[in-house]
């Protein structure tokens, strides 16, 4: 994360929160609409089941991330409440406020989710 932040600063790629969210939405949207579907199809064609599962998890979660970022963008000016996020250690599913009983994407127990303050 430190290296990524340094590289982004060098690229002058860190902008306002609204601009960053808009770029993140565009990136996630590209991934779940175009990038991962192609990768899933290729993995399926090659019979690479582990890769297919990994790409399928990522595809579902990237779509969810795009929605989360969209909601954040809409609420940016009105949101005053601070709350934690919980991230699935298997597929990366991200939820706010409280971990689910089990991950809706990969099924791992909610107690395994990592809390991000």
Footprint of Fe ion (CB under 5 A): 88, 90-91, 93, 103, 105-106, 108
Compute the least distance from the CB of residue 108 to Fe ion, in Å.
5
Q: Which residues pair with 96 in a beta bridge?
A: 85
Question: Which two tokens mark 59?
Answer: 């595809």
Compute the least distance from the CB of residue 61 to Fe ion, in Å.
7
Closer to Fe ion by Cβ: residue 35 or 106: 106
Closer to Fe ion by Cβ: residue 73 or 90: 90
Burial class for 75, CB neighbours closer than 10 Å (0-12, 13-18, 19+) = exposed
Compute the least distance from the CB of residue 54 to Fe ion, in Å.
12
Closer to Fe ion by Cβ: residue 72 or 112: 112
Burial class for 94, CB neighbours closer than 10 Å (0-12, 13-18, 19+) = middle
């Amino acid at each position: 994360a430190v290296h990524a932040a340094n590289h982004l600063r060098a690229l002058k790629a860190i902008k306002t929160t609204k601009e960053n969210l808009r770029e993140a939405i565009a990136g996630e949207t590209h991934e779940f609409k175009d990038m991962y579907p192609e990768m899933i199809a290729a993995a399926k064609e090659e019979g690479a089941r582990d890769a297919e599962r990994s790409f399928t998890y990522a595809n579902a979660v990237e779509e969810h991330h795009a929605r989360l970022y969209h909601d954040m963008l809409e609420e940016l000016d009105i949101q005053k409440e601070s709350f934690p996020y919980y991230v699935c250690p298997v597929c990366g599913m991200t939820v706010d406020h409280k971990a689910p009983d089990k991950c809706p994407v990969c099924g791992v127990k909610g107690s395994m989710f990592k809390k991000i303050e």
